[in-house]
Amino acid sequence: MKNRTTVERKSARELVVTRTFNAPARIVFEAWTKPELLKRWWAPQSTGVSLLSCEADVRVGGRYRFEFGHEASKPMAFFGRYIEVTPHSRLVWTNDESDDGAVTTVTFEEQGGKTLLVMHELYPSKEALDAAVAGMEGAMPETFTQLDELLVTLGASVGRS
């Protein structure tokens, strides 16, 4: 049976994801730190996007870069740096796509041969997390611009009729 995944907005700036795995922490940790293993689970088919490339140099100061997309010509990249790497128990990395990116901390806590994984994302501000929740980063003003344009068009067509 599959274990449950939970997601909770803990505070204005924090999002927390939890999940238990039926394996010792060293194994779960390995799957998070070897690029050839990461690649196998980071972009599941149900998400509809495929992972074009996945590089991860899991050491303090090491960089990672994941590229997703429907077409290789227009990839969407996620990248940053590992700032803490404690074997089998803790990983911290930055999300450097924008100034509003979170700092992600993943802890692996072993108990009775199982591992409780907690992924904690801390955003620089409430607005940054709100923007993430609202859709894509910075998508709001753009949506409103489109809405404005649409309203102008609608207004113009009403005026004509």
Partner 1 sequence: MVQSFRSRFDASFAALSDATRRGVLEQLGRANASITDLAEKFHMTLTGMKKHVGVLERAGLVSTEKVGRVRTCKLGPRRLEEEAAWIERYRQLWDARFGELDKVVEELKRKEKVDGRKKRE
Cβ atoms of 102 and 121 within 8 Å: the answer is: yes
Candidates 53-61, 74-82, 94-102, 123-131: pick the segment binding partner 1 (CB under 8 A). 123-131
Q: Min. distance of Cβ 20 from partner 1 in angstroms?
A: 10
46 vs 161, which CB is nearer to partner 1? Answer: 46
For 52-105, give the DSSP string: EEEEE--STT-EEEEEEESSTTS-EEEEEEEEEEETTTEEEEE-TTSTTPPEEE
Using CB under 8 A as the binding criterion, the count of chain residues that bind partner 1 stands at 34
Site for partner 1 in 39-78 (CB under 8 A): 40-42, 44, 46-47
29 vs 82, which CB is nearer to partner 1? Answer: 29
Cβ atoms of 22 and 86 within 8 Å: the answer is: no
User: Helix or strand or coil: residue 42?
Assistant: coil
Q: Is 151 in the site for partner 1 (CB under 8 A)?
A: yes
* Helices 126-134 & 139-160 angle (0-180, nearest 10): 50
Candidates 11-19, 70-78, 89-97, 101-109: pick the segment binding partner 1 (CB under 8 A). 11-19
Strand partners for 82: 93
- The Cα–Cα gap between 159 and 153 comes to 10
Residues that bind partner 1 (CB under 8 A): 2-3, 5-9, 15, 17, 19, 21-23, 27-28, 30-31, 37, 40-42, 44, 46-47, 119, 126-127, 130, 133-135, 144, 147, 151
